[in-house]
Amino acid sequence: MDTIDWIQDWFQQHCDGDWEKDEVIQITNLANPGWEVEIDISKTSIANLEIKWILNEINRKDWYGVKVENQKFLAAGDINKLPFLLNLFRDMIEKIEEAK
């Protein structure tokens, strides 16, 4: 299953009539240029997970960062990293779910 289909399924599984009314998944562009992904994890099994900002920067055109705080997954990266950022979220969820 590709990552977009996986995220759609993940979203649908967590819809409870209330949670999905907010801006649960946001993908926005950055001015540098790049992408930012924010996903609300408050109603999930990882709601209490906290990860401090991790920045991986090769140079100004090849970078990404990720953190989890305040019940949100937050990731940002250069203009070519959108699929990678979405896969970071998927990988994190799948690893945590497997560990249970």
Would you say residue 95 lies in a domain? Answer: yes
The average confidence (pLDDT) of the chain is 92
Would you say residue 11 lies in a domain? Answer: no
Q: Which two tokens stand for residue 95?
A: 């690893």
Would you say residue 44 lies in a domain? Answer: yes
What string of DSSP letters covers 49-99?
Answer: --EEEEEEEEETTEEEEEEEETTEEEEEEETT-HHHHHHHHHHHHHHHHHH
Identify the pLDDT of residue 87: 96
Q: For residues 35-64, give the mean pLDDT.
A: 93
Identify the pLDDT of residue 100: 66
AA letter at 18: D
Measured CA to CA in angstroms, residue 54 lies from 17, 19, 50 at distances of: 33, 27, 12
Identify the pLDDT of residue 14: 87
Domain span holding position 90: 24-99
Contact (Cβ atoms closer than 8 angstroms) between residue 45 and residue 7: no
Q: How confident is the model at residue 33 (pLDDT cuts 50, 70, 90)?
A: very high
Identify the pLDDT of residue 43: 81
Would you say residue 19 lies in a domain? Answer: no
pTM for the structure as a whole:
0.90
CA pair distance 44, 11, nearest whole angstrom: 10
Nearest CA among 4, 66, 68, 2 for reference residue 36: 66
The number of domains in the chain is 1
